Chains A and B, each alone.
Chain A
């Protein structure tokens, strides 16, 4: 199975900050890498597919980059509603896997 490792596991940031979350795959997943946001008690929401394709309705302050094994999710000008847990997920292999998550909370 492809292992997905996210870092950091948590971070504290302030409104207006720029935040970067890293996701590393144990082998190449090409650009089959997706990012989800989950708020407490809520259903996960797809933010970015194919490493960098922003889903409809997702604010442009979210961006994704990378290919192969190394990927990043960047949130610019962090807003109060962005405090949540973020997960990466590979859809390259038959057996799909998620990263462990990165919790973004208020400093």
Chain B
């Protein structure tokens, strides 16, 4: 079974930092682009970052560019999101998601809550 499991969320003060991790299993992690998507409480989905399979291409939404850094370790089947200079508006559930062959998010993690307060 394909699975993504996030960790590292929690409560952090404004201006602080947090590092999210996402461990993949059940598929060849190193063959896929991976993404982070977030959802603020009661709000819609917001794509925030993408990394290609070899880490040679990374992309960010304007809302996090310059503050967040996406990375991966294919040997560990792991995806990361380093979040710096956190703001109250970064409060959300953060999902890691696989971009599959259909060029869509076909596998999602269960989500991890990040609260900036």
Contacts and interface: CB of A to CB of B under 8 A. Distances in A.
Interface of A: 1, 32, 34, 36, 38, 43-46, 49-50, 53, 55, 85, 87, 89, 91, 94-101
B44 A100 contact: yes
13 contacts: A34-B105, A43-B109, A44-B37, A44-B105, A44-B108, A46-B102, A53-B102, A87-B44, A91-B99, A91-B104, A96-B50, A98-B37, A101-B44
Contacts of B95: 43-44
Nearest to B61: A95
Contacts, number: 64
A37 to B, nearest CB: 12
Contacts of B108: 43-45
Given A87-B45, A97-B47, A101-B45, A43 B105 contact: no
B39 to A, nearest CB: 9
Nearest to A56: B106
Interface residues of B, number: 21
Majority DSSP secondary structure for residues of B touching A? strand
B103 interface: yes
Nearest to A96: B47
Contacts of B59: 94-95
B103 A50 contact: yes
